[in-house]
Amino acid sequence: QKTAYEIYQCDWSSDVCSSDLEDYPGFLSIEGSELARLMQEQAEHFGAEIAMEDVTSVRSEGPGGIVKVVETFDRTYRAKAVILTAGGSPVKLDVPGEERLNARGVSYCAVCDGPFFNGRVLAVVGGGDAAVEEATYLTKYASKVILIHRRDQLRAQKILQDRYFANPKASVLWNSVIEEITGDNSVDGVRIRNVVTGQTSSVQVGGVFVFIGFKPNGDILADTGVTRDHGGHIVTNANMETGVPGIYAAGDVRAQLARQVTTAVGDATTAALAAEKYIEALTHP
Ligand code: NAP
């Protein structure tokens, strides 16, 4: 399954963005952006209003913090309850060349950028589901894909590993980390260090795709007193309640085992029901 993050990182208006889900109940296969569009249409049909704005902060106001205030760049919203579903952002490698060559051969989205790398040798960094799945996707365009992983064992599900290794364009460099991404105006290679032998080498590649996990976008709740775990995920109970009454979290932004579209949808259902009960209790104590 795709994470909610993987779906939303796509440019919906772009033809190249086709992130298929093959295990969302009810569909043999559906494009992520199409599923999101259908969800939006359904929500609007039942009266939801949707505003496309960047939220900068969430805070509580008034006696006992009863009013929830959501600030965006342009507006301030006041509500009785807030459900945060902000997902996450890709973790960066934090090596020389990565920032400078971002969007010039360094990418964090295979479905968005893969088609631009037709016939090139590509490096994919990471050993989890995302890296292995996206590496397999990139074999559609690349002449060769080199998966670079810091250990000698992948963390990805076996089915994804089997699919990758069955592809003749797939290869892997074990126990290896990228120390530098090189190139003047675009990526022309990576400098790699073997973490076991300490040996360094240069490999010529035309692009570097980084999938080493993702960081939850929970910072906007920093001033609310909501608890977050060591990775920055928002901690909730089974009702999606944070420790602050009236503030809920759902999906990839909260601490949980799975980061799947199906679990995010389940979280959101629970959070909406819990928020409704909370608002009812405020109105009819
Ligand atoms: P992940 O499971 O946390 O894996 C991150 C990978 O990157 C690990 O292999 C890790 O190495 C490696 N890594 C971390 N920091 C690194 C660094 N600084 N340098 C080099 N390598 C580094 O993250 P993910 O693959 O993005 O997946 C996130 C969540 O989404 C997971 O729950 C996953 O199951 C889910 N997901 C599911 C699917 C699917 O079901 N098809 C697809 C994509 C994502 P180590 O192994 O050594 O720790």
Instruction: Write the DSSP assignment of 9-54 as a string of letters.
Output: TS-TT-TT---EES-STT-SSEEHHHHHHHHHHHHHHTT-------
Mean pLDDT score, 44-59: 94
Task: Give yes or no for residue 243 having a pLDDT over 50.
Answer: yes
pTM reported for the whole predicted model = 0.73
Q: How far is the CA of 148 from the centre of ligand 1 (A)?
A: 13
Q: How far is the CA of 145 from the centre of ligand 1 (A)?
A: 18
Instruction: Write the DSSP assignment of 125-169 as a string of letters.
Output: E-SSHHHHHHHHHHTTT-SEEEEE-SSSS--S-HHHHHHHHTSTT
Task: Give yes or no for residue 144 having a pLDDT over 50.
Answer: yes
Closest ligand 1 atom to residue 91 Cα is 15
Mean pLDDT score, 245-258: 93
User: What's the confidence (pLDDT) of residue 257?
Assistant: 86
Task: Give yes or no for residue 10 having a pLDDT over 70.
Answer: no
Residue ID of nearest Cα to ligand 1 atom 28: 213
The pLDDT mean for the chain works out to 90
Residue ID of nearest Cα to ligand 1 atom 40: 1
Ligand 1: lining residues by beta carbon, under 6 Å: 1, 3, 125-131, 133, 150-151, 155, 177, 211-214, 259
Which tens digit of pLDDT belongs to each residue from 164-177? 999 999 999 999 99
Q: How many residues can be counted in the chain?
A: 285
Mean pLDDT score, 57-76: 93
The yes-or-no answer on residue 112 being catalytic is: yes
Contact 11, 107 (CB under 8 A): no
Query: Burial, 235: exposed, middle or buried (Cβ in 10 Å; 0-12, 13-18, 19+)?
Result: middle
* Separation of alpha carbons 245 and 226, rounded Å: 10
User: What's the confidence (pLDDT) of residue 223?
Assistant: 78
User: What's the confidence (pLDDT) of residue 19?
Assistant: 61
Q: How far is the CA of 154 from the centre of ligand 1 (A)?
A: 9
Closest ligand 1 atom to residue 5 Cα is 30
User: What's the confidence (pLDDT) of residue 33?
Assistant: 83
| Residue among 129, 133, 152, 260 whose CB has most ligand 1 atoms within 8 A, to mutate | 129
Question: Percentage of residues in the chain with pLDDT exceeding 90?
Answer: 75
Give the SS3 label for residue 178: strand
Closest ligand 1 atom to residue 212 Cα is 7
Which tens digit of pLDDT belongs to each residue from 111-130? 778 889 999 999 999 999 99
Q: Of the residues 10, 17, 109, 252, which is catalytic?
A: 109
* Separation of alpha carbons 249 and 51, rounded Å: 19
User: What's the confidence (pLDDT) of residue 102?
Assistant: 92
Question: Percentage of residues in the chain with pLDDT exceeding 70?
Answer: 93
Confidence of residue 67 (pLDDT cuts 50, 70, 90): very high
If we measure between CA atoms, which residue out of 281, 280, 279, 283 comes closest to residue 80?
279
Query: Burial, 218: exposed, middle or buried (Cβ in 10 Å; 0-12, 13-18, 19+)?
Result: buried
Q: How far is the CA of 220 from the centre of ligand 1 (A)?
A: 24
Task: Give yes or no for residue 15 having a pLDDT over 50.
Answer: no
User: What's the confidence (pLDDT) of residue 12?
Assistant: 35
If we measure between CA atoms, which residue out of 40, 15, 235, 47 comes closest to residue 111?
15
HEC profile of 74-125:
CCEEEECCEEECCCEEECCCCCCCCCCCECCCEECCHHHHHHHHCCCEEEEE
The yes-or-no answer on residue 109 being catalytic is: yes
Which tens digit of pLDDT belongs to each residue from 79-122? 999 999 999 889 999 999 999 999 899 999 887 788 899 999 99
Q: Lowest-pLDDT range, 16-20, 160-164, 196-200, 257-261?
A: 16-20
Which tens digit of pLDDT belongs to each residue from 182-218? 999 999 999 999 999 999 999 999 999 999 998 999 8
The yes-or-no answer on residue 17 being catalytic is: no
Task: Give yes or no for residue 222 having a pLDDT over 90.
Answer: no
Residue 196's φ and ψ, nearest 5 degrees, are -90, -50
